[in-house]
Amino acid sequence: MKSKLETAAYLRARLEEAGMTETKNGHPIFFPKNLVLFGNLALFLWIVFDSLAFLLYDFIIGIVFFILTLILIYGVLHLLGCLRPCHNCIKCTHGMGRLAALYFGRRIFKDYKYNYKLPGAIFFTLYIGGFPAAFALYSAIIDFTAIKAAVFVALLVFTIYSALTWRPRKPKTPKEAVQPKAQ
């Protein structure tokens, strides 16, 4: 059985390894620049593919979906991501770090317990993941074209990759976490 001291040291090492530090007020988060930049670019590209799936079916539906998605993701979800005070983030990313982490970050960066709540995270993931992918499949079955099939595959890849970031990883033993491996 692990002592409380060993467990605390292990948790502290895991947080530092992930770029996070632990304080008395909670867990201030430091989102890596690459996650914020590339995660938000990938999120926007995902939204474009979602809209393209609807555009290939009907132009008006595609435009409405694009505008609605921008409002929901970069308006509502962005606002929810910034509800936690900025002093809880080591470097304020104005909610963009939380958006990238929600869809593409490792599980340790996901802050679904405080801001989005798990049902909200599931809803928004299905809204830009499962729903457009299912619609793209339906559209490709009704009127098959190579472009529709390619859009479906791209949406499936984004959705599966995003879902895989939620799986827990097997933690290292406390000795491995505290003492780095000799090179």
- For 15-24, the pLDDT digits (tens) are 555 544 433 3
End-to-end CA distance of the chain: 30
> CA of 95: how far to CAs of 13, 84, 104, in Å?
26, 9, 14
Around Cβ 12, how many Cβ atoms within 10 Å? 15
Q: Residue 4: give the domain boundaries.
A: 1-30
In a domain, 181, yes or no: no
10 plus 51 within the same structural domain:
no
In a domain, 177, yes or no: no
Domain presence at residue 62: yes
Confidence tier at 60 by pLDDT (50, 70, 90) = very high
Q: List Cβ neighbours of 73 (8 Å cut-off, separation of 6 or more).
A: 43, 47, 99, 124, 128
Best mean pLDDT range from 41-45, 102-106, 165-169, 174-178: 41-45
- Considering the domain architecture, whether residues 81 and 15 belong to the same structural domain is answered as no
Q: Are 131 and 159 found together in one domain?
A: yes
Domain shared by 13 and 70, yes or no: no
Do 74 and 16 fall into the same domain? no
Share of the chain above pLDDT 90, in %: 34
Indicate if the pLDDT at residue 61 is higher than 90.
yes
9 CB-contact burial (10 Å; exposed 0-12 / middle 13-18 / buried 19+): middle
Q: Considering only 2-11, 132-141, 151-160, which range has the smallest mean pLDDT?
A: 2-11
Domain-embedded: residue 176: no
Residues of the chain with pLDDT > 70: what percent? 59
Quote the tokens at residue 49: 């593919």
Indicate whether 11 and 90 sit together in one domain.
Answer: no
* Amino acid 183: pLDDT: 47
Same domain, residue pair 53 and 107: yes
Residue 167 has pLDDT above 90, yes or no: no
Q: Is residue 91 part of a domain?
A: yes
Indicate whether 48 and 24 sit together in one domain. Answer: no
Q: Do 141 and 56 share a domain, yes or no?
A: yes
Contact call for residues 124 and 116 (beta carbons, < 8 A): yes
Give the three-state DSSP class for 181: coil
Number of domains present in the structure of the chain: 2
- Which residues, in sequence order, are CB contacts of 16 under 8 Å at separation 6+? none
pLDDT per position as a tens digit, 85-99: 555 555 556 667 777
